[in-house]
């Protein structure tokens, strides 16, 4: 399957599934209960901001208005928390788990630390996001819409790991011919931003919620320069400007303006495949395996009620960005998009990880 066919089918499938009506809910009452929403990252990153945005809205929408508490379980680029969730047997709806692209990519690449199976879990909500890469103020003066004058700069980047969502920016920067040295081991993208703020790193990227909350102000104050977004997908699977950041060029645009960077071929197809798996459907909320259908239906109805709020578009655009939110059958279809990439893209990335970072996945 070609990457263009892959992305087109993925988008069309998601849009079709998102239009399906929610199932009727049975009598489920969460009165007096506390729901733990576990996030396998630190409290400083985009996933934390995503869950903290949705948690109070979900509390209002669920019957009985339970307390929804966001808890954090960082470690091993989120595989620690995902492995823990795989073993959980809660069936009363009091445990919710949130994943991101950094949970999806090790699964896709066959990382030996993965002990979880996405298909065992029940998705009740999925949402897309974007990402913005930015430079420190000094090096930002050399950015002219291309990376041509950045190729002699030695960049330092705080990274969660090359097999995590960070592979999207790391591969993009390499395609641009930039010298970016990752410092691996941070627990969340918010920690990478803190490195940038302290001057320990001179390049960074944040998902949209993290950028809106913590990095946009640095750019506005002149302490950082926005370089590019990863973009968004249109209905035909083409990369277009991110609707949350329409004034910032996409990586595709910067690549086209940079000597030696190609937007076709094996390398581009691999990058785009992992971008599709990691961003248009990046964050998912799951109930554990074995959750009764009436509880699943109740969560589906609650998240649909959240999205149907008259003020949702306004408040979400400021906190998490302007992206699609999928529930019910749409969330299930979204999971399929997020956990499938062509074998050719996997093979390319696995070889790239070995050659560039000495990472061997066995």
Domain ranges of the chain: 3-129+278-343, 131-276
CA–CA distance, 124 with 96 (Å, rounded to integer): 9
pTM for the predicted model, two decimal places? 0.85
Please give the pLDDT value at position 4: 41
Give 9's contacts (C-beta < 8 A, 6+ positions apart): none
Backbone angles phi, psi at 162, to 5 degrees: -70, -20
Backbone angles phi, psi at 36, to 5 degrees: -95, 120
For residue 277, give the nearest of 35, 23, 11 by alpha carbon.
11
Please give the pLDDT value at position 187: 85
Give the orientation angle of helix 167-175 with respect to helix 343-357, to 10 degrees: 80
Please give the pLDDT value at position 235: 83
Backbone angles phi, psi at 279, to 5 degrees: -125, -55
Cα 167 to chain centroid distance, Å, stands at 12
Cα dihedral 342, 106, 196, 52 sign: positive
Please give the pLDDT value at position 325: 95
Which CATH entry fits the domain spanning 3-129+278-343: 2.40.50.140, 3.40.190.150, 3.40.50.300, 2.10.70.10?
A: 3.40.190.150
pLDDT (tens place) for every residue of the chain, 362 residues total: 334 443 445 444 554 444 444 444 448 999 999 999 999 999 988 899 999 999 999 999 999 999 999 999 999 889 999 999 999 988 899 999 999 998 999 999 999 999 999 999 999 999 999 999 999 999 999 999 999 999 999 999 999 999 999 999 999 999 999 999 999 989 888 999 999 999 999 999 999 999 998 899 999 999 999 999 999 999 888 999 999 999 999 999 999 999 999 999 999 999 999 999 999 988 999 999 999 999 999 999 999 999 999 999 999 999 999 999 999 999 999 999 899 999 999 999 999 999 999 999 86
- Radius of gyration of the CA atoms of the chain, in A: 20
Please give the pLDDT value at position 14: 53
Query: What CATH topology corresponds to 131-276?
Result: D-Maltodextrin-Binding Protein; domain 2 (3.40.190)
Please give the pLDDT value at position 22: 43
Do 3-129+278-343 and 131-276 agree at the fold level? yes
Please give the pLDDT value at position 286: 98
């Amino acid at each position: 399957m070609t990457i263009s066919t892959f992305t087109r089918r993925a988008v069309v499938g998601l849009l079709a599934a998102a239009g399906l009506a929610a199932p009727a809910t049975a009598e489920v009452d969460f009165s007096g209960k506390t729901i733990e929403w576990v996030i396998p990252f630190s409290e400083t990153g985009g996933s934390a901001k995503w869950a903290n945005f949705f948690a109070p809205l979900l509390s209002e929408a669920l019957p009985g208005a339970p307390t929804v508490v966001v808890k954090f379980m960082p470690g091993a680029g989120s595989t620690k928390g995902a492995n823990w969730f795989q073993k959980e047997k809660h069936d009363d709806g009091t445990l919710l788990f949130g994943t991101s692209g950094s949970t999806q990519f090790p699964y896709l690449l066959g990382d030996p630390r993965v002990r979880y199976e996405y298909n065992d879990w029940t998705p009740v909500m999925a949402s897309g996001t974007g990402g913005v890469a930015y430079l420190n103020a000094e090096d930002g003066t050399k950015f002219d819409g291309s990376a041509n004058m950045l190729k002699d700069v030695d960049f330092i980047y705080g990274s969660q790991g090359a097999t995590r969502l960070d592979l999207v920016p790391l591969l993009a920067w390499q395609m641009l011919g930039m010298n970016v040295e990752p410092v691996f081991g941070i627990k969340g993208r918010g920690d990478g931003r803190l490195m940038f703020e302290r001057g320990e790193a001179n390049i960074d990227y944040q998902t949209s919620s993290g950028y809106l909350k913590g990095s946009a102000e640095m750019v506005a104050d002149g302490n950082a320069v926005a370089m590019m977004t990863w973009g968004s997908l249109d209905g035909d699977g083409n990369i277009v400007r991110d609707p949350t950041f329409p004034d910032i060029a996409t990586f595709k645009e910067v690549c086209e303006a940079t000597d030696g960077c190609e937007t076709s071929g094996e390398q581009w197809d691999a990058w785009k495949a992992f971008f599709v798996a990691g961003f248009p459907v990046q964050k998912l909320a799951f109930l554990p395996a074995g959750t009764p259908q009436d509880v699943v239906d109740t969560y589906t109805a609650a998240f649909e009620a959240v999205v149907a709020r008259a003020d949702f578009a306004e408040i979400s655009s400021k906190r998490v960005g302007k992206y699609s939110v999928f529930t019910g059958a749409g969330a299930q279809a979204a999971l399929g998009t997020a956990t499938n990439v062509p074998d050719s893209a996997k093979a390319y990335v696995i070889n790239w990880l070995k050659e560039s970072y000495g990472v061997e996945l066995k």
